[in-house]
Structure 1
Amino acid sequence: MFKKFSSEEVSAQNQVKASVQRKIRQSIAEEYPGLEPVLDELLPKKSALVVAKCQNHLNLVLVNDVPLFFNIRDGPYMPTLRLLHQYPNIMKKFQVDRGAIKFVLAGANIMCPGLTSPGGALDEEVEAETPVN
């Protein structure tokens, strides 16, 4: 289901300057307001922030050699699964009904009937193109 990731796919690692680090931090704070109380713990100002460039235009944000966020082609920053399991409430959540689960796990898009039928949950405050959990 998930593609294995190996260190051979990393083409370059760069420790970013303080100005770029502030920009990444500000972008993450705007995208995930639920991380505000723990943002200083996750992205400390004094520790080195490394951006690893990978194949397929994937960028990983590493703090102390731990990947926390990624983005594709300068898109929005997405939390890694490890970070999402640590802090599950940082993103808005959608819930599909039982009938849609096997199709979603197989890679299908989520459609309105799977969210609006009994068993599904839809948060109407989510704007278009917003990443959800």
Structure 2
Amino acid sequence: MFKKFSLEEVSSQNQVKASVQRRIRQSIQDEYPGLETVMEDLLPKKSPLIVVKCPNHLTLVVVNNVPLFFCIRDGPYMPTLRLLHQYPNIMQRFQVDRGAIKFVFSGANIMCPGLTSPGGVLDEEVDSERPVAIYAEGKQHALAIGFTKMSAKDIKSINKGIGVDNTHYLNDGLWKMERLD
């Protein structure tokens, strides 16, 4: 999704009204209850909230020129990896084995065998079409964020095909874009 993403991709930037800002805040709070205590620091009510629209039905939520969340089509808001590194426990997590790391860094989707091998870990409660953080065996920080293609139970039982659709990974265009100045 963000492999070749850059500022040239931005089609519009708008400061949103208070009602839209409340709706975005509520949507993020519903999706990530772990952020409730720091929500005022992340998305202050008095600070302008900018919504950046990009092609491919992509929306970025920006505060103080820093992209914090993104949304694809009408899906749930997902934190950027920089935000996830600050608050690592806000998302459900999967872990891939060491062999999958180089493929994830190149933008490849996460295959079921990489999640079910001895180095992989699945959260059994995750359903299909849910955002998850992807961690690597032996690493502290997340290396990607994606959408599950099937539930964790199906990933474990089928063990074939794409398990997680990789949307944002370390060193992609969104990662390199620290600020929108």
TM-score category, normalised to shorter length: 0.7 to 0.9
Determine the structure 2 residue equivalent to 1:62.
Answer: 62
Cα separation, partners in 2 of 1:13 and 1:106, compared to 1, 3 Å: closer
**Structure holding more strand per residue:** 2
- RMSD over aligned Cα atoms: 1.9
CA distance in 1, matches of 2:87, 2:79: 10
**Structure 2: tracts of 5 or more residues without a match:** 134-181
**Per-residue deviation, residues 61-89 of structure 1 (Å, max 9, x unmatched):** 11122111111222211111221222222
**Deviation, structure 1 residue 132:** 0.8
Q: Distance in 2 between matches of 1:62 and 1:103?
A: 29
Kindly state the Cα deviation for residue 90 of structure 1 after the two structures are TM-superposed: 1.3
In structure 2, what is the equivalent of residue 5 of structure 1? 6
The CA deviation at 1:4 is 4.1
Q: Distance in 2 between matches of 1:22 and 1:43?
A: 10
Q: Counterpart of 2:132 in 1: which secondary structure?
A: coil
Q: Hey, what does 1:84 align to over in structure 2?
A: 84
Confirm or deny: 8 A CA contact 2:69 2:79 kept in the other structure: yes
Deviation digits for residues 38-77 of structure 1 (CA, Å, limit 9, x no counterpart): 1111011111111111222211111122111111222211
Task: Give aligned-pair identity as a percent.
Answer: 77
- Structure-2 change in CA distance of 1:101 and 1:39 (3 Å): same
Alignment size in residue pairs: 132
Specify the alignment match of 1:39 in structure 2.
Answer: 39
Q: Residue in 2 aligned with 1:113?
A: 113
In structure 2, what is the Cα distance between the partners aligned to 1:113 and 1:70?
A: 28
Report if the CA contact (8 A) 2:95-2:115 is conserved. Answer: yes
Flag the structure with more relative contact order, 1 or 2, with Cα contacts below 8 A and sequence separation at least 6: 2
Q: Which moved more, 1:82-91 or 1:95-104?
A: 95-104
CA shift, 1:16, in A, is 1.0
TM-score, scaled relative to structure 1? 0.86
TM-score by length of 2: 0.66
Query: Per residue, is there more helix in 1 or in 2?
Result: 1
Partner Cα separation in structure 1 for residue 9 and residue 111 of structure 2: 33
- Other structure's SS at 2:13 match: strand
**Partner residue of 2:136?**
none
Query: Within the alignment, does 1:101 sit opposite 2:94 as a pair?
Result: no
Amino acid at match of 2:56: N
Deviates more, 1:103-112 or 1:46-55: 103-112
1:83 alignment partner, SS class: helix
